[in-house]
Amino acid sequence: MAVKKFVVGLFDDEAVLFPAVKKVRTAGYKLHDVYTPFPVHGLDHAMGLRETSLHTAGFIYGITGTTTALSFMSWVFNVDWPLNIGGKPHFPLPAFIPITFELTVLFAAVGMVMTFCWLCQMMPGVKKHIFHPRQTDDKFVMVIELTEKTNAEEVKSFLTAAGAHDINEQKAEAGWWFGRFDKDDEPYLRKIQTANA
Amino acid sequence: MKDQFVVPARLKKTSFVLMGVGLLTLLIGLIAFKGETRFWAGLLQNSSFFLLITLASTFFIAATTLAQGGWQIAFRRVPEAISMAVPVLAVILFLVVMILIFGGREDIYHWINAEHVAHDPILSWKKAFLNKGFFTIATVITLALWIIFTIRIRKMSIQEDSWDMSRETGRKILWRNTVVCGGFMAIFVLSVGSTTPWIWLMSIDAHWFSTMYSWYTFASTWVSGVALIALFVVYLKRHGYLTFVTEEHLHDLGKFLFAFSIFWTYLWFSQYMLIWYANMPEETEYFQPRVWGEWRPIFFLNLLINFITPLLFLMKRDTKRNYTAIVFIAIVIIFGHWLDFWQMVYPGTVKHLSFPWYEFGLGLGFVGLIIFLVSNQLTKAPLVPKNHPYLKESIVHHT
């Protein structure tokens, strides 16, 4: 949670954006984020993001679901309330498999969705600064964070050379906060005004 | 860019050695089993398995074409070449089943004895379907249609190489491929998806029936067929061909192997669970020797090789993108499903479990034959279908 300075540049085309992202990394600027209207294949790799740990989490959730289902059902039918159902054994593994499978899927799916929201910092009420109103609409927006070592003018000319337009400097909250868009911020309308101004 | 495959002397030698091993095993089997049950059961198991896994290549082309897939174009000539082994293997299977039917091999198909059928209420019910005439006609029609469509798809693809590259030809290529592949798909669903495994394999246990059986067989052969495609792709890539094929394409083949191994298990389990639940004698007789009899170790080994191994091994992204890892798991999968066919055919014919040296030797012979036929076919056309409109999509493919 800290207010930082950013330089924001707009791109019209992913073909221009892609080399620009690579250039930013070789130039050594600190890339805050890149916002795109659709998933651009290979962009995460070009940005130098580490591979997500979401699938490992998913595996662990799945294993948890399997164990929960199997142990619960065996406990119910063997220890807590043994019933004779159609003369089947008290530990009928084939009959347990569908439920085990369902619970594995359920745990993995719900757990992964929640982990995904956690990793992406998404939740009802969680707010983030919007750098440009059209950043996930039809424009590609690249945000470079300014540190003590970077010169804003230099970054701006760098972005112009890379093919960006509408380059501006913003001072904004870098993380997230709780809030309501209707009460303490009207990002869309406000940003439209700044864009027109 | 190396676009024209030349069969390396070593591959040729390997294929001849394997075919020699197969023929030798066939001769030893003929002497050792005196042309009795096991001799024919081994031939039936291997010829049907290897025919269906090469046919899976035609299915691969048809399915990806109908789904408007672009990613596979860079190596499309590989499944095409594999599918051209179908005519030869179809002839072998045809000879085997015809000898079984008209040679009066009641130890394999016990329903061919008319007198026996007349005294058997269950078989009398199935008489309209389980008889020599129906069996022969259905086999001839399906095999003929498979061969016609496979050759047609291959011929179209080679013919398109001599066309010019334009918008019109692009549309024409897509349209006629879609039409022919659609036709093949309809036939495939009616044959491998329903009747063919019933008459060739399920009728070994003629009293028993399972509506899952054909899908089960299909899943088995389809996942092994993808493994076969992956093996040839990796082989060509290792020898410097298929320049446009990258880890991305391999990753997708790996996903297929992973997904359809799970699909196979789904059918494996569904078939078993319904029968286990109902517990009716005429249905459980199939699983009696397999789950509670001598074949128990094979039945569960099957699950270990065909489900647990691919599931855990292919779960990680890195293994799906690693050439050596894919070769390893593809061989494991093909072997596993070959075992699956073994335990589908044998408990109803040979009855007793013994070390499958004869079956494995025959299998090696078929592998050699497939290598020989496919490597020959690969030389007959450039490895890249240069006029296919989706070629660029395949080159820039990114998962």
Q: Quick one: what percent of chain B has pLDDT higher than 70?
A: 100
B315/A94 CB distance under 8 A: no
Q: Is residue B112 part of a domain?
A: yes
Q: What is the mean pLDDT of residues B57-72?
A: 95
pLDDT at site A197? 46
pTM: 0.88
A95/B315 CB distance under 8 A: no
Q: Is residue B102 part of a domain?
A: yes
Mean pLDDT estimate for chain B: 93
pLDDT at site A3? 84
pLDDT at site B254? 96
Residue of B nearest to A58 (CA): B315
Q: What is the mean pLDDT of residues B263-290?
A: 92
Q: Quick one: what percent of chain A has pLDDT higher than 70?
A: 91
Please, which pLDDT band fits residue A181 given cuts at 50, 70 and 90?
A: low
Cα–Cα distance list, A187 to A126, A171, B46 (Å): 14, 14, 68
| Domain assignment of residue B40, given as a range | 9-395
Least confident of A126-130, B121-125, B270-274, B324-328: A126-130
State the Cα–Cα distance between residues B131 and B133, nearest whole angstrom. Answer: 6
- pLDDT, tens digit, 9 for 90 and up, residues B117-154: 889 998 998 888 889 999 999 999 999 999 999 999 99
Please, which pLDDT band fits residue A1 given cuts at 50, 70 and 90?
A: low
Please report residues of B whose CB lies closer than 8 A to that of A18.
none
For the ranges A47-56, B159-168, B357-366, the maximum mean pLDDT occurs at B357-366
Question: Cβ–Cβ contacts within 10 Å for residue B174, how many?
Answer: 15
Using the Cβ of B144 and the Cβ atoms of chain A, whether some distance falls under 8 Å is answered with no
Contact call for residues A98 and A121 (beta carbons, < 8 A): no
Q: Does domain A3-51+124-196 have CATH number 3.30.70?
A: yes
- Distance of residue B77 Cα from the nearest chain A Cα, in angstroms: 27
- Nearest partner of B136 among B98, B176, B186, B82, judged by Cα: B98
Please, which pLDDT band fits residue B104 given cuts at 50, 70 and 90?
A: confident
Using the Cβ of A110 and the Cβ atoms of chain B, whether some distance falls under 8 Å is answered with no
Using the Cβ of A39 and the Cβ atoms of chain B, whether some distance falls under 8 Å is answered with no
Q: What is the mean pLDDT of residues B184-204?
A: 93
Least confident of A87-96, A125-134, B184-193, B321-330: A125-134
Residue of A nearest to B398 (CA): A41
Sequence-separated (6 or more) residues with CB below 8 Å from residue A65: A100, A103, A104, A105, A106, A107, A108
pLDDT at site B45? 95
In the block, tokens 């004779």 appear at A84
Please report residues of A whose CB lies closer than 8 A to that of B246.
none
Q: What is the mean pLDDT of residues B311-327?
A: 93
Burial string for A74-92 (b: 16+ CB within 10 Å, else e) reads eeebeeeeeeeeeeeeeeb
Domain residue limits, chain A: 3-51+124-196, 54-120
Chain B segment 305-324 residues within 8 A of A by beta carbon are 315, 317
- Distance of residue B73 Cα from the nearest chain A Cα, in angstroms: 20
Q: Say whether pLDDT at A185 is over 80.
A: no
Please report residues of B whose CB lies closer than 8 A to that of A95.
273, 277
Contact call for residues B46 and B335 (beta carbons, < 8 A): no
Q: What is the mean pLDDT of residues A113-126?
A: 89
DSSP helix/strand/coil, B208? coil
Please, which pLDDT band fits residue A67 given cuts at 50, 70 and 90?
A: very high
Q: Say whether pLDDT at B286 is over 90.
A: yes
B273/A42 CB distance under 8 A: no
State the Cα–Cα distance between residues A194 and A196, nearest whole angstrom. Answer: 5
Which two three-digit tokens encode residue A162?
A: 């890379």
Q: What is the mean pLDDT of residues B13-21?
A: 96
A95/B277 CB distance under 8 A: yes
Using the Cβ of A91 and the Cβ atoms of chain B, whether some distance falls under 8 Å is answered with no
pLDDT at site A86? 81
Using the Cβ of B273 and the Cβ atoms of chain A, whether some distance falls under 8 Å is answered with yes
Q: Is residue B166 part of a domain?
A: yes
Q: Is residue B3 part of a domain?
A: no
Please, which pLDDT band fits residue A10 given cuts at 50, 70 and 90?
A: very high
Mean pLDDT estimate for chain A: 86
pLDDT at site A176? 83
pLDDT at site B282? 87
Residue of A nearest to B271 (CA): A94
Q: Is residue B4 part of a domain?
A: no
Q: What is the mean pLDDT of residues B232-252?
A: 94
Using the Cβ of A89 and the Cβ atoms of chain B, whether some distance falls under 8 Å is answered with no
- Nearest partner of B157 among B272, B243, B57, judged by Cα: B57
State the Cα–Cα distance between residues B261 and B223, nearest whole angstrom. Answer: 6
In this complex, which of A51, A55, A97 lies closest to B273 when CB atoms are compared? Answer: A97
- pLDDT, tens digit, 9 for 90 and up, residues B212-223: 999 999 999 999
Using the Cβ of B280 and the Cβ atoms of chain A, whether some distance falls under 8 Å is answered with no
Please, which pLDDT band fits residue A150 given cuts at 50, 70 and 90?
A: confident
- pLDDT, tens digit, 9 for 90 and up, residues B144-181: 999 999 999 999 999 999 998 889 999 999 999 999 99
Please report residues of B whose CB lies closer than 8 A to that of A41.
398-399
Number of domains in chain B: 1
